[in-house]
Amino acid sequence: MKTPERRSLPRATTTRRDFLRTTAGAAAAVTLVVPAVHAAQENTIKIALVGCGSRGSGATANALSTKGPVKLWAMADAFQPRLQASLKALGGQFGKQVEVPLGRQFVGLDAYQKAIDAVAPGGVVLLATPPAFRPIHFEHAVQKGCHVFMEKSFAVDAPGGRRVLRAGELAAQKNLKVAGGLMWRHDKPREEVIQRIHDGAIGEIILLRTYRMHGPWGGHTRPAGMRELEYHLTYWLNFTWAGNGFLAEAMVHNIDVCCWAKNAWPIAAQGQGGRLALTQPGQWYDHYNVEYFFADGTRLLAQGRHMNYCWDIYSDFAHGTKGSAVIMESLAAPNPRIYRSQLQTRENETWRYCGRQPNPYEPGGRPFENLRQSGNPYQVEHDLLFDAIRQDKPHNEAQRCAMAAMTAIMGRMAAYSGQRVTWEQALRSNLELAPGLESYTWNSTPPVLPDKQGRYPIPIPGMVKAF
């Protein structure tokens, strides 16, 4: 039988984070730090970028595109080439808004401290490193008196999630502003359909469904001569300790939106998953099916898969006692709709979003052209953050970000262990995926290592400690 042609990840899954990968050769996603101010005057807000990959560089482009004077002031990354690629691309696009001389370019695992300190206090920190480092960097930024934008998925385990919650509480006490990279919360089509759901358009929600099913992620082999820890941090999508796993890293957006529609967080989860089609090194499952339980008996079914030659769908649905809703039809075009029944046909449609739907996922033209579209949720989340800083408005998304991350982690715990995991068990867990991460150097040994055949340990349900 003829083997079908190998498919790549569908274009609809491309995000702003991928732009530098094609325009400047930047590699894995990393953390950004951006300085900010409390005063309402036209003060220049200085940004510190910690982690200069495509995610961080895209977020910096959004920050530099907000109203009022903003400057990229400091940059940090574990890898010098990545920092230089980001600096070149951002400098070429934003010119004098980028003012990062050699003395404010920091490289290494402790570089985040130096970049944050360069803009503290009152700066804005954009965090976009692999999520294992998010709690550490967030905590340091808040302690130094900086405002923060942090990319998802915010934490990889419960100790990290609790750390984000504590740092968020400290930020509130200090009147610091915090934004998180769950940009769909600031997307007009999704806002409208969810408001209608909250207003009773489909009655009481009884079921939510979310799907993220497309081509493979991760799986990069280790280049010859690359140190083990360097490999893990360069290709962090291969490893649960650094990248969280597909459900908790990639599907956290979908899970968050469904919980937003329900206006509640689940109390438990059970599920399953595995690794069938991936042949490259790494630990990630390539499929998940997790059932979340809400306190009123409602269920959220979350199904994820990243394999070739399979049926693809990237959508969110809500079902109620009086009808149903499409929250998102596809990544590039949500096209939300309301129906009078569970049969989602055009004749049963009672409402459809007809406004503009910016598509930030189609790369083209200048590197950051799509990021600056009017209504682009990636831009809106930064516009809101910087406006809150300049006008001294309340703005702290840390708790919601931590709750979304822990909900996704609870589902991953359930799938990895084969157990039903409650919210209390998940949140109170002391299981750390990378103990001592804060003290890592390039000579440190990663928490997982390959066997003699080069295979990394894969979670086996029934044999894995859940919490």
pTM above 0.95, yes or no: no
Domain assignment of residue 444, yes or no: no
In a domain, 467, yes or no: no
The answer on 328 and 226 residing in a single domain is yes
- Model pLDDT for residues 429-463, shown as the tens digit of each residue: 999 999 999 999 999 999 999 999 889 999 999 99
Q: Could you give the 3-state DSSP secondary structure of residue 53?
A: coil
Do 48 and 74 meet the contact criterion of CB atoms below 8 Å apart? yes
Query: Which pLDDT belongs to residue 364?
Result: 43
Kindly state whether residues 360 and 390 are assigned to the same domain: no
* Shared-domain flag, residues 78 and 209: no
149 and 207 assigned to the same domain: no
Nearest to 150 by CA among 48, 240, 238: 48
Tens of pLDDT, residues 132-165: 999 999 999 999 999 999 999 999 999 999 999 9
Q: Which residues pair with 421 in a beta bridge?
A: 269
236: left (phi over 0), alpha (psi -120 to 50) or beta: alpha
Examine residue 80 and state whether it is found in any structural domain, yes or no.
yes
Do 125 and 241 fall into the same domain? no
199 domain residue, yes or no: yes
* 25: pLDDT strictly greater than 50: no
List residues bridging with 127 in a β-sheet.
Answer: 50, 150
Q: Does residue 117 lie in a domain region?
A: yes
Same domain, 174 and 194: no
Which amino acid is it at 80?
Q
Are residues 150 and 22 part of one domain? yes
pLDDT band at 108, cuts 50/70/90? very high
Are β-strands 349-352 and 337-339 bridged in parallel, bridged antiparallel, or unpaired?
antiparallel
**Per DSSP, what are the bridge partners of residue 98?**
72
**Is residue 194 domain-shared with residue 127, that is, in the same domain?**
no
Q: Could you tell me if 389 and 313 lie in one domain?
A: no
Secondary structure element (H or E) that encloses residue 64, with its range: helix 54-64
Residue 458 within a domain: no
Residue 3 lies in a domain: no
Q: Does 393 lie in the same domain as 333? A: no
- Under the banding of pLDDT at 50, 70 and 90, the label for residue 277 is confident
Beta-carbon neighbour count of residue 22 at 10 Å? 12
Q: Where are the beta strands (DSSP E) in 178-245?
A: 178-180, 205-214
Residue 11 has pLDDT above 90, yes or no: no
Residue closest to 331 by CA, chosen among 201, 183, 207: 183
Q: Quickly list H helices, 303-442.
A: 377-391, 398-417, 423-428
The domain in which residue 76 lies consists of 11-184+377-397
3-state DSSP helix/strand/coil % of the chain, to nearest 5: 40, 20, 45
Q: How far from the centroid of its chain's Cα atoms is residue 284's Cα?
A: 16
Please indicate, yes or no, whether residues 152 and 114 belong to a single structural domain of this protein: yes
CATH of the domain at 134: 3.40.50.720
pLDDT at 20 over 60: no
Whole-number Å distance between alpha carbons of 404 and 260? 10
Q: Mark whether 179 and 218 lie in a shared domain.
A: no
* 460, part of any domain: no
Total domains in the fold of the chain = 2
Better-predicted residue by pLDDT, 306 or 364: 306
